[in-house]
Amino acid sequence: MKKAILFVFIALSILICNAQVIEKAPVPWKAATLSFVLPGGGQIYNKSYLKSGVFFLAEATFLGMSIYHHNEMKDFGGKRNSVDEEDFEQYDIYNEDYEFHYKRRNSYYWWLGISIVASITDAYVDASLWDYDAKKSKIHLNMGDKNIGLSLRF
């Protein structure tokens, strides 16, 4: 566990140092890949630090809750299997708890997947639209009484 925390810390440090040096437009596929590998990594690459923190906290929360409910589910599954066959009431109580944690665990897995996809999508779109304001100033829509024109400056 300590090695994983150390790896995440080193990866975040490298990403932050790398993100501060970038002066050109970020590469969308690189932002998406970083966001997939490290929660919020693509947002750090795009210099969206607040969004990075939000995605990191969301993914960490969903992962933590999934692990918690998985462990509780295993605990009640073991208790359920250790109950004598004649004690149906106790078996039903453990079975209900097992089902509750099973459903919660699966729900948090879905939320984790959704947050990962949202993080990847956000990083890709943010990197793609990095110079949107500069491109927008080159396109003008001209509207008259009975005509509409579009002008593009190169």
Q: What pLDDT score was predicted for residue 54?
A: 95
Does the pLDDT of residue 26 top 90, yes or no?
no
Residues 6 or more apart whose Cβ sits within 8 Å of residue 70: 101, 105
pLDDT digits (tens, 9 = 90+) for 113-149: 999 999 999 999 999 888 766 665 666 677 777 777 7
Question: Distance between CA 95 and CA 122 in Å, rounded?
Answer: 40
Contact call for residues 38 and 8 (beta carbons, < 8 A): yes
Provide Rg for the chain, Cα atoms.
25
Query: What's this model's pTM, rounded to 2 decimal places?
Result: 0.67
pLDDT digits (tens, 9 = 90+) for 62-105: 999 999 999 998 888 777 666 666 665 666 777 788 889 999 99
Positive or negative CA dihedral for 130, 133, 138, 139? positive
What is the rounded average pLDDT for all residues in the chain? 81
CA nearest to 80, candidates 88, 70, 69, 68: 88
Question: 80 exposed, middle or buried (CB, 10 Å; 0-12, 13-18, 19+)?
Answer: middle
